[in-house]
């Protein structure tokens, strides 16, 4: 079973920030938080990952709470092309193996 909990769906207005929450209350000290998204049944796409510090890249920002039991993915200026299912995944880094995908959050960006 997935070790994360996400809301099944969210809406966001185009141009506004999309904040996608994820709970991972049983995360271990050596587990990273990864985010992937899947646009309209294409293959999933890596977005960002982090251990305990906040992270930012050209796609998004990742905010991890101090106790690491939850995190938020932020898309700063959502566009229609960001409409997708977003998956939050926790795993130990650099050990390969499976990504455990839960149900994810279906984000709809509306004009």
| Contact positions vs other proteins (CB under 8 A) | 2, 36, 41-46, 49, 87, 91, 93-99, 101-104
Q: Outline where DSSP puts E strands in 15-80.
A: 18-23, 31-38, 45-50, 55-56, 61-64, 70-75
CB 83 within 8 A of CB 69: no
Identity of the residue, 2 or 74, whose beta carbon is nearer to other proteins in the bound complex: 2
> Measured from the CB of residue 41, what is the shortest distance to other proteins in angstroms?
7
Identity of the residue, 98 or 111, whose beta carbon is nearer to other proteins in the bound complex: 98
DSSP tag of 6: -
> Measured from the CB of residue 106, what is the shortest distance to other proteins in angstroms?
10
């Amino acid at each position: 079973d997935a070790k994360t909990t996400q809301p099944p769906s969210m809406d966001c207005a185009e141009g506004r920030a999309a904040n996608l929450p994820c709970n991972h209350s049983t995360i271990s000290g050596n587990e990273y938080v990864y985010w992937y998204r899947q646009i309209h049944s294409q293959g999933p796409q890596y977005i960002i990952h982090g251990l305990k510090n906040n992270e930012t890249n050209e796609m998004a920002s990742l905010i991890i709470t101090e106790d690491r039991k939850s995190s938020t993915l932020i898309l700063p200026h959502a566009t229609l092309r960001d409409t997708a299912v977003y998956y939050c995944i926790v795993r130990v880094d650099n050990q390969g193996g499976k990504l455990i995908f839960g149900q994810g959050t279906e984000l709809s960006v509306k004009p």
